[in-house]
A = this chain, B = another copy of it.
Amino acid sequence: MSRTTKGAADAERPGDDTLSRVELQLALLLRRAERTGAVRAGHTPALERSGYLLLLVLGTEGPLGINALAERQGLDASTVTRQVVSLEKAGFARRGRDPQDGRAVRVEATAAGRRQLEYERVRRAALYDQVLADWSPVERATLASLLERLNQDLDAFRREPEGR
């Protein structure tokens, strides 16, 4: 079927070929990275991953509605609704009705939200600075590039799974 996986029920052992390596490392990464940036030693972050990414979009693209936010992030609108409620509760976002369209909502980052976003960004960068302590600038840049490309390709794949 797929050229690279050959006989499917092949005799490869886990980790043998490149794709399996990538796949396995990604599975591991999901778990590792999740916990690393998060609840380190009782430090409950004011901003979880979801809120962080949401604020980032808000900060970059200004006030948006729920659907727009959901679309930009490839999430369900119901998920975004809850994330916004949560940000609002924390004082990092504000929700107002769209004057043009009474159904729609206008989500906006507050000053505290922008501050917190910046704080998080710096904190996370510092964290990875430590994790990648042994990496050369070139290696770090390569990692960044490959991840960017991987994310783009994952996005593209989600939009239209190539195989049918």
Residues of A within 8 A of B (CB): 1-5, 8-10, 14, 17-37, 40-41, 49, 52-53, 56, 59-60, 73-74, 118, 121-122, 124-135, 137, 139-144, 146-151, 153-155, 157-158, 161-163
Contact = CB atoms under 8 A, between A and B. Distances in A.
Contact of A151 (B29, B135, B147, B148): B29
Nearest to A21: B144
Nearest to A164: B41
Contacts of A161: 40-41, 130
Contacts of A153: 131-135
B142 A146 contact: yes
Contacts of A135: 149, 153
A125 B4 contact: yes
Provide the main secondary structure of the chain A interface. helix
A55 to B, nearest CB: 10
B19 A129 contact: yes
A59 B14 contact: yes
Contacts of A30: 29-30, 33-34, 49
A54 to B, nearest CB: 11
A9 B118 contact: yes
A33 to B, nearest CB: 5
A22 B158 contact: no
B22 A140 contact: yes
